[in-house]
Structure 1
Amino acid sequence: MNLDAIRAIDVHVHVEQDDHGHFSLDEELMRASDAYFRGSENRTPTVADLAERYRDSGMAAVIFTIDATTAMGHPALSSEEIASAAAEFADTLIPFGSVDPHQGGAAVDRARVLVQEYGVRGFKFHPSVQAFDPSDQQFYPLWDAVQELGVPALFHTGQNGIGAGLPGGRGIKLRYSNPILLDDVAADFPGLTVILAHPSVPWQAEAISMATHKANVFIDLSGWRPKYFPPELVRAAGGMLRHKVLFGTDYPLITPERWLADFEELPIGAEHHEQILKLTTARILGLS
C-alpha cells in the first residue's frame, strides 16, 4: 500500500453483506441499527463496494465482520472470504479477522490460520454482541495467540447501537463493553496492541486513563460524529493522546466525509491531523 497516495486510513469499517447475499446481522437487528444510526448511503456494502467507495475517496479502510455465532445464533460472514476478497484491492483495503471467543481452542487455531494463511492484519471483537467478558481468563489463550501473532485487537467499547430500542436490547449486555475490562488484558499481555473502539460513553474517563497509562492501548474515534464527542475526549485527542487516537468512522453507519467535516471543526491543531488520520494507524499496522 502506497501511504503517500492516500490521505487517511479509516480503521473501523464493516462488511455487512457477502457475495452470497448473506447479511452480518438478522433482519430485526439490522432494522434496529438502521433506526439508531439513521442509515447511510449503502447500508449493506460488500468488499467490492467498500473498495470502490474508499478508493474514490482517496482513503484506505480496515474492514471486518463480527463472528458472534454462539451468542447471536446467526451465521457469521466468513473472515476468510473477506480477507481473500480484500487481497484483490490491496491498494485500498486492509482485512481484519473475527473469531468467536466461545469456540475456545478452535478460535485460537482459526486466528492463527487467518493471519498466517489469509494475511489478516488484526482482529475485531465485540464483547457485548459476542456476549463475553474479555477479562475472563478462559479467553486468555486467545489473547496470548493474538499477541504472539503480532497483530492488534480492536474491541468495541461503550454504548451499543446493535439491539438499541428493542425489548431488553435483544439480550445484549452493555457491561461487557466497559473498557476497564480490557485493562486486565492490556496489563497481562503487554505485547498486544489493544484498540478501544469508539468514544466509550458512559465510560470515557476509563478509556482515556487506560490509553494514558498503557503504551499498548489506543482509542479509535469511530461510531460517533466528532461534533458529539465528549469534551474530555476532544481535549485528550488534541493534547496528551494525539499519538494514541485513530481515525475511524463505523461505516456504513457514518460516512467518512461527514466524519471528516466534523473533525475539521474540532479544536485540534491542524498539525496533528495527519497523525490522527493516517500515521499512527499505519505504524500500528506495520504499514510504515
Structure 2
Amino acid sequence: MIDLDKIRAIDIHTHAEEPCGCHTDDGYDELQSTMAKYFGAPWEHPPTVQETAAHYRAQNIAAVIFPVDAERETGYRRYSNDEVAELVAENSDVLIQFASIDPWKGKMAVREARRLIRDYKVKGFKFHPTYQGFYPNDRMAYPFYEVLEEEGCIALFHTGQTGVGSGMPGGNSMRLKYSNPMYLDDVAVDFPDLKIIAAHPSFPWQEEALSVAQHKPNVYIDLSGWSPKYFPPILVKYANSILKKKVLFGSDWPMISPEKWLAAFEGIDIKDELRPDILKNNAARLLGLMD
C-alpha cells in the first residue's frame, strides 16, 4: 500500500517497457532506441519493472505503471498485463497498477479487463490512439469503456504528438490525427461517470485539451512527456487557476526521469500553494487514495 505521508509525489504516467528485460526482438528494439534518442534518455536498455520500483523508491515517489498493447496495429507483441501486475504487487509500496488492452480486441478486451480488475484490482487502463490506430470516440471501444465506468476505473489516453515512431520512415506508420484530445469530448459525454485523463501537453492541440478538461468534470490532464520548461504559457496559466485541481504530475518514465521533470518544474511559474496538489494530492484523490 502507498503511504501518502512518506512520499513526496505521485507520478501518474510511467511505462513498463520490458518486465522480464530479455524479450525476443520483433522490431520493437529499433522503435525503443529511436524513442530514447528523441527524448535524450540515458539508458541503453529500458529498465525492468523491478528496476523502476527501485528507482522510484530511492526518489521517494509513487508511480502509476502500465504496458501498452498495440499488437494489431504494430505487429509488436505485447507485454503481459498479468506479469506486470504480479511485479507491481511485489512493489506495492511505490507502484500502482494500470493495464493496457487494445480496444480492437472487442469482447476479448472486455473479458480481460473484467478479469484484471477482479484478480489484480487494476485501477485504470492506458489507451494510445496513435499507437493502437483508433479514434477514442469510435463506437467499437464503447463496450470496453462501459466496463471501466461500471468498475470505477480510470481511462488514460495519450493525446497530441508522440515520440513513438518520431523520425522513422513514415513515422513508423503512426498517424497523429487519432490523438486529438477533442475526440475525448464525445467519450466524456457518453460516459459521464468515467474518469478520463488526457495525457501530456497536447501539442499541437493544447487549447482543445484545456477546453475539454474545463468543460467536462470527469476529464483531467497529466503533464507527462514534456519537460516543464517547454510547457506553453496557456497550460501554466490554466494549471495556476481554473484547472488547479485537475492537472497531474507525470514524467513518462523511462523516457524522462521523475527527478529531471521535478527539477524543471521548480523553475516554472506555478504558485507555491498549488504545487502539492499538482505533484501528489490531485492524483491521490483521483486514485481514491485520499478524500
C-alpha RMSD of matched pairs (Å): 1.3
Cross-structure match for 1:270: 272
| C-alpha displacement of 1:27 | 2.0
| C-alpha displacement of 1:38 | 1.3
* CA shift digits 1:32-52 (9 cap, x unpaired): 212211113465111110110
Cross-structure match for 1:208: 210
Cross-structure match for 2:5: 4
Cross-structure match for 1:163: 165
CA distance in 1, matches of 2:139, 2:123: 24
TM-score (norm 2): 0.96
Cross-structure match for 1:50: 52
| C-alpha displacement of 1:103 | 0.6
What number of residue pairs does the alignment pair up? Answer: 288
Query: Is the contact made by 2:103 and 2:140 (CA closer than 8 Å) also made in structure 1?
Result: no
Tell me the SS of whatever aligns to 1:33. Answer: helix
Cross-structure match for 2:188: 186
Residue ranges of structure 2 left out of the alignment (5+ in a row): none
Cross-structure match for 2:69: 67
| C-alpha displacement of 1:133 | 1.0
CA distance in 2, matches of 1:159, 1:20: 27
Percent identity among equivalent residues? 51
Q: 1:143 to 1:92 in 2, by over 3 A?
A: same
Letter of the aligned partner of 1:252 in structure 2? P
Query: Is the contact made by 1:156 and 1:197 (CA closer than 8 Å) also made in structure 2?
Result: yes
Query: Is the contact made by 1:135 and 1:185 (CA closer than 8 Å) also made in structure 2?
Result: yes
Cross-structure match for 2:80: 78
Query: Is the contact made by 1:43 and 1:253 (CA closer than 8 Å) also made in structure 2?
Result: no
CA distance in 1, matches of 2:185, 2:26: 29
Query: Is the contact made by 1:160 and 1:174 (CA closer than 8 Å) also made in structure 2?
Result: yes
Letter of the aligned partner of 1:36 in structure 2? Y
Query: Is the contact made by 2:153 and 2:195 (CA closer than 8 Å) also made in structure 1?
Result: yes
* CA shift digits 1:46-99 (9 cap, x unpaired): 111011000110110001110001111111011111111101111100010100
CA distance in 2, matches of 1:205, 1:20: 39
Cross-structure match for 2:145: 143
Tell me the SS of whatever aligns to 1:199. Answer: coil
CA distance in 1, matches of 2:83, 2:32: 21
Q: 1:130 to 1:233 in 2, by over 3 A?
A: same
CA distance in 1, matches of 2:277, 2:20: 35
